[in-house]
RNA sequence: GCCGGGAUGGCGGAAUCGGUAGACGCAGUGGACUCAAAAUCCACCGCUGGCAACAGUGUGGGGGUUCGACUCCCCCUCCCGGCACCA
């Protein structure tokens, strides 16, 4: 056996062994429990980043752990290969997005393989390939047939210079990222999927997912946003006609406090009022400019303008003026709201700004109402009672809403209604590098679906976008086609699908790999649903919600039998690193990669500063942030693997923090992980001969050995518990503690080699999911026999854990004052007696009698005096 | 702004049901080995006071419940993720 740990050699050898034995090929086998472990597939951006390494290491640890626990495991991998960055790269380098994407896939696949992941590569897929996206198109057509896909207009960011639609991230401070032109909102026809038809189902079945983090379920429930309220109308007369202004509110109990109404700029009433009011028309235009993003809408200054149109209060007949408000969303509810400034914070500020009346109609006894400043309790739903509300005075929220809804209903002006925050899913993208939407536009027949027999509609792979519009619109070989209905000359739809479509069902395709006759086949019945899904917390809402929706549609089409695609979900935190920069007095901030920065410490280890290695001059720290190109704080996994090996990279990733939390990069932490693996290797080399000659289990170890053995089994017990919680950082700690214990075992004791043999076999198996290469080698070298992949998972032995005497903490008045030793079987009374008799107790009780003695079995004794 | 999450030594983090705060690792300090350095090994290591024994204090800040609070309750601050065309 080699003396020195040489990761490059042993990792290559182990990977070759796994390849040759097809160790990770997954085959359906009804006799074994299955475990489908899936990590979110990567976007092939060029090379792996640390977030990928973290994600896939977590998945691999779970995969290998379950294998050893006897499960038939599937861990596939593929590529989320359509998307915007390929078009950006095409513009920058004049390379077709297809070539760029396929090159990236080839490189990143090599990187993944060098990390030793237990992936079944035979099931690999890429969403940009026609044999995959054909089924996007096929299912879209099924949705069209069922009325789940439809066309309506939607608002997009329009760059007037490039004459193109921009993604939200391409809009910077209201301007196009390339042209700098002020972006306009523009309404264009788009295709939508009716996810709102599944709102109730998507909300209800969250309760069937105990394996999902509560926070993700809460976020999804809030996103779907079911709210119970009242939809009602303010009647008015305009242009000689009787009309109704409909609004929705969850606070109908405050209806007597309405002092004005507000409508969105896109509301018909706003357009009507603007017709003969140039100032208002200008304001409406102003509202229509600007961002389409909700975050911007919510943080911008709230502005409004009166329309001069009055409506009547449905219960009091009072005249109420209608305003146009830039904060009212046309897409939510009715595009109009009632305003109750006394009990809605936004309305309150709006009313103060424009000197509109504020009328208190909710009261909490003892709390004075004042118009000076908004107070939280004005919107209190629990304790408020109606006042100044006539017959409703004294009612609480629920009773008032009931009574008011009934009265509105009796007048034919409204009723209770449930509304949802969730909006239908707009899937049209005016972009080239995506899945073509399978529709044909015919002058005579209108929009005609592409017949199934003509699928897939293949995307040409040689286009090079230039940033001005969709290149498909200039490709006659793509555009021109015959109408499937009448045979006349027709034109293909050039919009492509949102890439969230691609990722909404790929997990099912892995289980149907290679089938060109059907979207999914019977193998899905064996593998699905996914037992463990792992991915970034940033996908907590959109990707997961769309996948859940898509699954329910497939279920209703009879394609799959499950309701929910992911039984258990682990949302991993982001990978962070420190940001270093200089900001010259004039000019732009420049960022420096942490690898090029040297940290300065005082002799107590406190940070005193940081300098750039190249010039020795100080740089400023911008704190810790997500690894990103813009902040130049990324660490290239390739360099890490080349310097230390895959096992060190994997170990550090698991050790540095628990999977759900953010992970802070640390070069010295990597060093420490490497040091541990080196120590493990040299220890194994040093004791190898003794261990190989020893029996598998120590006979009767003496007390020093028994303590070491207890330590090993105690750490194993803890580690197994932690595995169940996905807390791999403490599993790694437990492995380190085991090695510490084994190194300190008294080597002269007769049973020591047997203890080491047992201990190392536990340690190697425990560690093998995290650092599979080194464990594979040492398992062979130490002669345990067979492949460690087939070895059973270790379990602690009760006998090794047993103790005669235990130590309890002694507290006096809750303060730690010492410890006492008691027999492991001692009863409460006996422990109490021993505690009171102890020297520490007598000293700190200072002669006072004990008022109370609290005994926590196996833990502590607290004497209260 | 709204929704969700987080904050523990110089740093990453541990503490399973409310029961020894700081496991394990990093950094640092002292020592061994070495001509020297690296590597490795041993010891110390929350903060304040003290030569020490020890005492006080300490889990973002403020209050509360409890024999006992990192953990439960109320209020506040800061940081991170998402907000529907980044993936």
Q: How far is the CA of A644 from the C1' of B70 (A)?
A: 36
- Whole-angstrom Cα Rg for chain A: 34
CA distance A203 to A195: 12
Shortest CA to C1' contact from A599: nucleotide: B27
Please choose, from the candidates A552, A550, A566, the residue with its C-alpha nearest in 3D space to the C-alpha of residue A135. A550
Distance A10 CA to B40 C1' (A): 23
pLDDT of A374 reads: 83
Q: Which nucleotide lies closest to A293 by the C1' atom and the CA atom?
A: B83
Give the nearest nucleotide to A502, CA to C1'.
B87
Report pLDDT for A849: 82
Taking residue A695's Cβ as centre, other Cβ atoms within 10 Å add up to 11
A858 nearest nucleotide via C1' and CA? B19
Return the nearest residue to B18, CA–C1': A856
How far apart CA A76 and CA A627 sit, in angstroms, is 26
What single string gives the DSSP state of each residue in A232-252?
Answer: EEEEEEETTEEEEEEEEES-G
User: Which residue is closest to B69 in terms of CA–C1' distance?
Assistant: A814
Find the residue closest to B86 using CA and C1' atoms.
A169
Pairing of the two strands A78-79 and A125-126: parallel
As a rounded value in angstroms, the CA-to-C1' distance for A602 and B48 is 20
- Taking the C1' atom of B45, which residue's CA lies nearest? A604
* Confidence (pLDDT) at A526: 97
Q: Which nucleotide is nearest to A814 (CA to C1')?
A: B68
Which nucleotide's C1' atom has the smallest distance to the CA of A298?
Answer: B1
Residue at the smallest CA–C1' distance to nucleotide B10 = A606
User: End-to-end CA distance of chain A, in Å?
Assistant: 64
Q: How far is the CA of A697 from the C1' of B81 (A)?
A: 49
The whole-number Å distance from A836's CA to B56's C1' is: 25
Closest to A636 measured CA to CA, from A226, A145, A85, A51:
A51
Among protein residues, the one whose C-alpha sits closest to the C1' atom of B21 is A816
> Which residues make beta-bridge pairs with A263?
A324, A336
Instruction: Find the Å distance, CA of residue A730 to C1' of nucleotide B71.
Output: 19
CB A668 within 8 A of CB A584: no
In whole angstroms, give the CA distance from residue A669 to residue A231: 59
Q: Which nucleotides along chain B are within 7 A of a protein C-beta?
A: 1-6, 10-16, 19-21, 23-29, 39-42, 47, 56, 67-69, 79-87
ipTM of the complex: 0.95
Q: Which nucleotide is nearest to A225 (CA to C1')?
A: B3
- Given the DSSP bridges, would you call strands A226-238 and A241-249 parallel, antiparallel or unpaired? antiparallel
Q: A375 CA, B77 C1': separation in Å?
A: 20
Nucleotide nearest to A294 (CA to C1'): B83
Nucleotide nearest to A625 (CA to C1'): B80
Distance A603 CA to B30 C1' (A): 13
**Cα A407 from Cα A35, distance rounded (Å):** 57
Dihedral sign (CA A540, A542, A546, A549)? positive
Q: Which residue is nearest to nucleotide B26 (CA to C1')?
A: A669
In Å, how far are A442, A453, A457, A460, A481 from A477, measured between CA atoms?
16, 19, 12, 9, 8
What's the 3-state SS for A296-317? HHHHCCCCEEEEEEEEECCCCC
Q: Which DSSP category does A211 fall into?
A: B
> Measured between alpha carbons, how far is A157 from A602 in angstroms, rounded to an integer?
52
Positions of chain A with pLDDT lower than 70, given as ranges: 585-588, 601-607, 701
Nucleotide nearest A40 (Cα, C1') = B87
Q: What is the pLDDT at residue A601?
A: 66
Residue A166, by phi and psi: left (phi above 0), alpha (psi -120 to 50) or beta?
Answer: beta
Which residues, including other chains, have CB under 8 Å from residue A823's CB and lie 6 or more apart? A804, A805, A806, A830
For residue A663, which nucleotide's C1' is closest to its Cα? Answer: B12
Nearest residue, CA→C1' of B13: A657
Nucleotide nearest A727, CA–C1', reads B14
Q: CA A521 – C1' B40 distance (Å)?
A: 58
Nearest residue for B2, CA–C1': A298
Closest residue by Cα to the C1' atom of nucleotide B67? A864
For A364-401, the DSSP string reads -TT----SSS--GGGG-SSS-EE-S-GGGTT--HHHHH
CA A816 – C1' B57 distance (Å)?
14
- Please report, rounded to whole angstroms, the spatial distance between the CA atom of protein residue A535 and the C1' atom of nucleotide B16: 25
Interatomic CA–C1' length for residue A151 and nucleotide B83, angstroms: 24
Nucleotide nearest to A671 (CA to C1'): B26
DSSP for A538-586, written as a single string: GGTTHHHHHHHHHHHHHHHTTS-S-S-SBSBEEEEPPEEEEEEEE--SS
A820: enclosing H helix or E strand: strand A815-823
| A644 CA – B38 C1', rounded, Å | 17
Instruction: Tell me the CA–C1' distance in angstroms for A380 and B67.
Output: 38
Round and report the angstrom distance from CA (A508) to C1' (B61): 50
A661/B8 CA-to-C1' distance in Å: 15
The DSSP code sequence of A471-489 is GGGG-HHHHEEE-TTT--E
Q: Which nucleotide lies closest to A542 by the C1' atom and the CA atom?
A: B84
Spatial CA neighbour of A679 closest among A723, A639, A648, A714: A648
| Amino acid A674 CA to nucleotide B39 C1' distance, rounded Å | 13
Residue A137 burial by Cβ neighbours in a 10 Å radius (0-12, 13-18, 19+): buried
Distance A69 CA to B6 C1' (A): 34
Predicted pLDDT of residue A336: 92
Helices A7-20, A646-656: axis angle to 10 degrees equals 100
The residue count for chain A = 865
């Amino acid at each position: 056996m080699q003396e020195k740990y040489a990761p490059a050699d042993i990792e290559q050898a182990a990977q070759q062994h796994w390849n040759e034995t097809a160790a990770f090929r997954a085959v359906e086998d009804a006799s074994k429990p299955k475990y489908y472990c899936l990590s979110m597939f990567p976007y092939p951006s060029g090379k792996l980043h640390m977030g990928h390494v973290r994600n896939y290491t977590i998945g691999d640890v779970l995969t290998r752990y379950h294998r050893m626990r006897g499960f038939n495991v599937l861990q596939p991998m593929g590529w989320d290969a359509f998307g915007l960055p390929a078009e950006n790269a095409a513009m920058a380098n004049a390379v077709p997005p297809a070539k760029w994407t396929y090159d990236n896939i080839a490189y990143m696949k090599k990187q993944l393989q060098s990390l030793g992941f237990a992936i079944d590569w035979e099931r690999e897929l890429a969403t940009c390939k026609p044999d995959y996206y054909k089924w996007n198109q096929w299912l879209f057509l099924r949705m069209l047939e069922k009325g789940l896909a439809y066309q309506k207009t939607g608002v997009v960011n329009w760059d007037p210079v490039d004459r193109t639609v921009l993604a939200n991230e391409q809009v910077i401070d209201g301007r196009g990222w390339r042209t700098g032109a002020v972006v306009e909102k523009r309404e264009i026809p788009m295709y939508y999927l009716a996810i709102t038809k599944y709102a109730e189902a998507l909300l209800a079945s969250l309760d069937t997912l105990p394996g999902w983090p509560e926070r993700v379920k809460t976020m999804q429930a809030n996103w779907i946003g079911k709210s119970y309220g009242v939809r009602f109308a303010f009647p008015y007369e305009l242009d000689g006609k009787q009309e109704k202004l409909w609004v929705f509110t969850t606070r109908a109990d405050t209806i007597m406090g309405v002092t004005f109404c507000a409508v969105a700029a896109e509301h018909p009433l706003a357009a009507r009022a603007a017709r003969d009011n140039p100032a208002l028309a200008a304001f409406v235009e102003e509202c229509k400019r600007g961002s389409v993003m909700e975050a911007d809408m919510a943080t911008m200054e709230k502005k409004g303008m009166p329309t001069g149109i009055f409506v009547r209060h449905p219960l009091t007949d009072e005249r109420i003026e209608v305003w146009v408000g830039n904060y009212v969303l046309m897409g939510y509810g009715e595009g109009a709201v009632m305003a109750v400034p006394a009990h809605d914070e936004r309305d309150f500020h709006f009313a103060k700004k424009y000197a509109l009346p504020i009328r208190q109609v909710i009261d909490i006894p003892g709390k004075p109402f004042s118009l000076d400043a908004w107070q939280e309790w004005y919107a209190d739903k629990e304790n408020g009672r109606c006042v100044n509300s006539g017959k409703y005075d004294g009612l609480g929220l629920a009773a008032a809403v009931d009574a008011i809804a009934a009265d509105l209903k009796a007048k034919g002006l409204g009723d209770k209604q449930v509304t949802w925050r969730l909006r239908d899913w707009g899937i049209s993208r005016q972009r080239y590098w995506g899945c073509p939407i399978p529709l044909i536009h015919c002058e005579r027949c209108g929009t005609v679906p592409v017949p199934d027999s003509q699928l897939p509609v293949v995307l040409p792979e040689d286009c090079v976008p230039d940033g001005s519009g969709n290149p498909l619109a200039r490709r006659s070989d793509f555009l021109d086609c015959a109408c499937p209905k009448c045979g006349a000359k027709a034109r293909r739809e050039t919009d492509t699908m949102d890439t969230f479509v691609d990722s909404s069902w790929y997990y099912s395709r892995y289980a149907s790999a290679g089938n060109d006759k059907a979207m999914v086949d019977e193998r899905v019945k064996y593998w699905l649903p996914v037992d463990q899904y792992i991915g970034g917390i940033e996908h907590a809402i959109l990707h997961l919600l769309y996948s859940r929706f898509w699954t329910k549609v497939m279920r209703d089409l009879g394609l799959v039998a499950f309701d929910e695609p992911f039984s258990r979900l682990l949302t991993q935190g982001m990978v962070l690193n420190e940001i270093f920069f200089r900001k010259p007095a004039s000019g732009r901030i420049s960022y420096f990669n942490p690898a090029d920065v040297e940290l300065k410490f005082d002799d107590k280890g406190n940070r005193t500063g940081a300098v750039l290695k190249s010039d020795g001059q100080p740089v400023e720290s911008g704190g810790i942030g997500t690894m990103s190109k813009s902040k130049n704080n990324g660490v290239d996994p390739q360099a890490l693997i080349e310097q230390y090996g895959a096992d060190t990279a994997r170990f550090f990733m698991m050790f540095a923090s628990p999977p759900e939390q953010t992970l802070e990069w640390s070069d010295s932490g990597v060093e420490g992980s490497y040091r541990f693996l080196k120590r493990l290797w040299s220890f194994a080399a040093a004791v190898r001969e003794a261990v190989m000659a020893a029996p598998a289990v120590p006979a009767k170890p003496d007390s020093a050995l028994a303590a070491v053995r207890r330590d090993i089994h105690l750490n194993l017990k803890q580690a197994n518990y932690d595995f169940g919680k996905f807390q791999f950082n403490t599993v790694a700690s437990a492995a380190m503690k085991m090695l510490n214990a084994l190194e300190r075992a008294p080597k002269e004791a007769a049973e020591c080699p047997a203890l080491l043999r047992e201990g190392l076999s536990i340690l190697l198996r425990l560690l093998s999911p995290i650092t599979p290469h080194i464990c594979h080698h040492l398992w062979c070298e130490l002669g345990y026999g067979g492949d460690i992949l087939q070895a059973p998972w270790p379990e602690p032995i009760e006998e090794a854990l047993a103790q005669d005497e235990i130590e309890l903490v002694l507290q006096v008045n809750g303060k730690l004052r010492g410890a006492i030793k008691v027999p492991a079987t001692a009863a409460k009374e006996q422990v109490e007696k021993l505690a009171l008799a102890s020297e520490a107790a007598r000293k700190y009780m200072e002669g006072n009698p004990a008022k109370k003695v609290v005994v926590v079995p196996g833990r502590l004794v607290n004497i209260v005096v």
